[in-house]
Amino acid sequence: MPPFSFTIDAECPETWARAGTITTPHGVIQTPIFMPVGTQATVKSVSPEELHEVGVTIILANTYHLMLRPGSQLISDFGGLHAFMHWDGPILTDSGGFQVFSMGHLRKLSEEGAAFKSHLDGSVHLLTPESVMRIEAELGADIILPLDICAAYPCAPTEAREGMERTHRWAERTLAVKDRYRTEQALFGIVQGAFEPELRRYSAHVIGNMPFAGIAVGGLSVGEPKAVLWEMLRHVTPELPKDKPRHLLGVGSPEDFVTAVSLGMDMFDCALPTRVARHGGLFTRHGRVNITAARFRVERGPIEAECDCYTCRNYSAAYVHHLARTEEQLYYRLGSIHNIRYMLRLASQVRAAICAGTFPAFRDTFLADYTPAPEEVREEQREKWKMARRANRALGRPTSVYEQRKPR
């Protein structure tokens, strides 16, 4: 068995959806797949055994946070991330670039790489395409990403082009050194190009033709309207090689997951399901509900009647409501388990539909039943989240850069 492989098991004849199988040194992943985010070598409030139980087959960890604390060298000394965090399934690490660029004033970009100040102690670090390969080798994930430039939204066309071109040059530099480190790690390329259709097509073509094991699409879901996100994918997907897995970085919500699959994406990571859970937002087939709402106070049934997660099998919605209202730690776990299970069940339903040739109908029914959180609710949750960050800062806690990506 090769350390990394990807096969396509079924393709939707009407959409760009595919069902595939990825093989990695730590296990097999059936796609489309959602991967929870374990920023600091832990998926917040959930144990590795619980991740396995809800059907998680791959998680994402953030290089930026781990290189600063506890340090990639320490993790390497402990046998890599898998051993360190007691997770024996596949792991994907990002390059740290996204977090560095989110920090704005704390970083300085050059052709060499990205210099930044640690949010923890102000120490100065330089990420280069080469150093990122060393760091990710130390972390030891199954799938790794190269340093790239993630443009902001909106972005001037010149800046968009420069960022993309540098991303391509960095991709080449990354490929040039990659095999100095752990050859069993699969390196994905990252498509950029901001919100310029022409740049997106070009970047997909360039990155798609480099010898990467898979393709990640970056720089999306950074605040642009949904229509723009989908438009970009419509330009990107046709340029990508069919035989490589495609990872849409930082997406998403249940509805975005289903839509993006129909646009040809196979892999998804996002902190949203666990973050909104911690703020009371739990997924149901009809949309996101707020478990702290008064109507759940006396609800005898589970959060969702059809749900097979540990939370729904064992607790009334009223009890989960009570834990959420009293801000009990068990709530964060129960809510996160529910939302992660929801995403994994959705992923396997989507896969089954693709294999059965019924994906378009599945998608349409799902999207008709599922009402996305209204923009005002999202805005409110974004505000709550910002307030929590400010409060943490006021308490002298480390700045929670760990979740820079805005909740949506």
Active site residues: 94, 269
- Report the residue number, 234 or 322, with the smaller CB distance to a copy of itself: 322
3 touches a copy of itself by CB under 8 A? no
Name residues contacting a copy of itself, limited to 300-319 (CB under 8 A): 300, 314-316, 318-319
Are 269 and 293 contacting, i.e. CB atoms less than 8 angstroms apart?
A: no
Integer Cα distance of 32 and 251 in angstroms: 13
Q: How many residues lie near a copy of itself (CB under 8 A)?
A: 39
69 touches a copy of itself by CB under 8 A? yes
DSSP secondary structure letter of residue 266: -
45 touches a copy of itself by CB under 8 A? yes
The pattern of x and - marking residues 83 through 102 that bind a copy of itself according to CB under 8 A reads -xxx----------------
Are 232 and 195 contacting, i.e. CB atoms less than 8 angstroms apart?
A: yes
Task: Compute the chain's Rg from CA coordinates.
Answer: 20
The pattern of x and - marking residues 320 through 359 that bind a copy of itself according to CB under 8 A reads -xxx-xxxxxx-xx--------------------------
- Report the residue number, 202 or 332, with the smaller CB distance to a copy of itself: 332
Name residues contacting a copy of itself, limited to 217-246 (CB under 8 A): none
- Report the residue number, 158 or 326, with the smaller CB distance to a copy of itself: 326
Integer Cα distance of 180 and 331 in angstroms: 45
Among 21, 25, 53, 78, binds a copy of itself (CB under 8 A): 78
Given the rule CB under 8 A, which of 20-28, 67-75, 152-160, 161-169 is the region that contacts a copy of itself? 67-75
Integer Cα distance of 77 and 59 in angstroms: 21
Among 40, 76, 131, 348, binds a copy of itself (CB under 8 A): 40
| Smallest gap from residue 320 Cβ to a copy of itself (A) | 11
| DSSP code per residue over 312-380 | HHH--HHHHHHHHHTT-HHHHHHHHHHHHHHHHHHHHHHHHHHHHT-HHHHHHHHHHH-BPPPHHHHHH
209 touches a copy of itself by CB under 8 A? no
DSSP secondary structure letter of residue 37: B
Q: Report which of 255, 222, 240 is spatially closest to residue 101, judged by C-alpha positions.
A: 222
| Smallest gap from residue 47 Cβ to a copy of itself (A) | 7
| Smallest gap from residue 49 Cβ to a copy of itself (A) | 9
Q: What's the burial of 31, exposed, middle or buried (CB within 10 Å: 0-12/13-18/19+)?
A: buried
- Report the residue number, 14 or 77, with the smaller CB distance to a copy of itself: 77
The pattern of x and - marking residues 118 through 157 that bind a copy of itself according to CB under 8 A reads ----------------------------------------
Given the rule CB under 8 A, which of 42-50, 208-216, 240-248, 282-290 is the region that contacts a copy of itself? 42-50
Among 29, 46, 270, 343, binds a copy of itself (CB under 8 A): 46
Cα–Cα distances in angstroms (integers) from residue 172 to residues 146, 176, 207, in the given order:
10, 6, 9
- The encoded tokens of residue 217 equal 């699409």
| Smallest gap from residue 327 Cβ to a copy of itself (A) | 7
The alpha carbon of 213 is separated from its chain's Cα centroid by a whole number of angstroms, namely 18
- Which residue blocks in 140-266 are alpha helix, DSSP H? 157-178, 197-208, 226-236, 254-262
CB contact set of 101 (below 8 Å; sequence gap of 6+): 107, 114, 149, 150, 152
Q: At 42, is the secondary structure helix, strand, or coil?
A: coil
Are 221 and 153 contacting, i.e. CB atoms less than 8 angstroms apart?
A: no
| Smallest gap from residue 141 Cβ to a copy of itself (A) | 16
Name residues contacting a copy of itself, limited to 380-399 (CB under 8 A): 391, 394-395, 397-398
- Chain residues binding a copy of itself by CB under 8 A are 40-42, 44-47, 69-70, 74, 77-78, 84-86, 297-298, 300, 314-316, 318-319, 321-323, 325-330, 332-333, 391, 394-395, 397-398
